[in-house]
Structure 1
Amino acid sequence: MTAKLEGNELVITRVFHAPRELVFKVWSEAEHLRNWWGPKGFELSVAGLDFRPGGYFHYSMQSPDGYQMWAKFVYHEIEASERIVWVTSFSDEEGNVVRAPFSAKYPLEIRNVLTLSENNGTTTITLRGGPINATAEEQSFFTGMFESMKQGFGATFDQLEQYLAKV
């Protein structure tokens, strides 16, 4: 996996030994997402998934010690097997956008663009994510979290790799 900051965006690239259609499928269906998305060791519960432009993915994550937090995606663009664009935010149980539980300085919304390309049965994903409608302080906080986000996505994508090997 490679990870870098480009301006205000975190850019992560990783290769998976699975066909692009399968990689796309595990990003687009609740029964798959619950098996790999989120921090390592957390249990993911799906409250709802409506995978279409204008739709959403609303979920909770629970740590081994019982701490629970909610989040959601709002999908903006979907090109089957090629690209997904969504905005991520922390939420409450009803799906309302709320501040991150770990800091009031974390941006309310992060725009993400996932692209998938296939080469001889392997799929390269590139995930670009950065704050939208953020203050200068929120932008600075986001870029200051680079190492933490790199580790977090590394562990999440390790879970994805392990899951792809089983499905």
Structure 2
Amino acid sequence: MVAEFDATAERVWQIWEDPRQLERWWGPPTWPATFVSHDFVPGGTASYYMSGPDGEKIGYCWVFTEIAAPYSLSFDDRFTDDDGNPSSDMPTIHTAVSIEEAGASTRMTIRSRFDSLEQLEELVAMGMEEGVASALGQVDAIVAD
């Protein structure tokens, strides 16, 4: 996914660095995220859950593999069970984010990689593509604050 924002790279970086700002956009509007922890350093972890419109909660965790402020970060995103343990039944999403200034705006590119085509197809069928697109649609209002 690629999106451009009327903000500096440093301002766009803050939407990743600050868990309260992440909560305002990570996840579609109907499935908002709540970050329980956010150790934003290489090797650090973040845990969060997304709440559905019917009260359903799905847990996730990130392991940060690279952080190079304010231009790139990478993390592995995994589903978790009710106790916060990574699920072996669901795929890991290997995510790489790049943030680059593009004239008067900033371009953010999010690349997701999977261990197999089947894993990608499973998450696309669950609505991941639409979810990410609607989540990104919330960023303009945040960076304008």
Q: What is the TM-score when the length of structure 1 is the normalising length?
A: 0.78
Structure-2 residue corresponding to 1:150:
129
Structure-1 residue corresponding to 2:39:
50
Structure 2: gaps of 5 or more residues = none
Alpha-carbon distance in 1 for matches of 2:61, 2:28:
15
Confirm or deny that 1:72 pairs with 2:61.
yes
Contact 2:9 2:106 in 1 (8 A): yes
Alpha-carbon distance in 2 for matches of 1:141, 1:44:
22
Q: CA RMSD in A?
A: 1.9
Structure 1: gaps of 5 or more residues = 1-11
- The alignment of Structure 1 onto Structure 2 pairs a total of residues equal to 144
Among all aligned residue pairs of Structure 1 and Structure 2, give the percentage whose two residues are the same amino acid: 26
Structure-2 residue corresponding to 1:8:
none
Confirm or deny that 1:91 pairs with 2:70.
no
Confirm or deny that 1:29 pairs with 2:18.
yes
Amino acid in structure 2 at the alignment position of 1:140: E
Aligned partner of residue 54 in structure 2, secondary structure: coil
Structure 1 residue 13: deviation in Å? 1.2
Alpha-carbon distance in 1 for matches of 2:22, 2:7:
16
Structure-1 residue corresponding to 2:142:
163
Cα separation, partners in 2 of 1:41 and 1:97, compared to 1, 3 Å = same
Q: Deviations over 1:81-106 (max 9, x none)?
A: 1100100000134431115xxxx5x5
Alpha-carbon distance in 2 for matches of 1:43, 1:27:
15
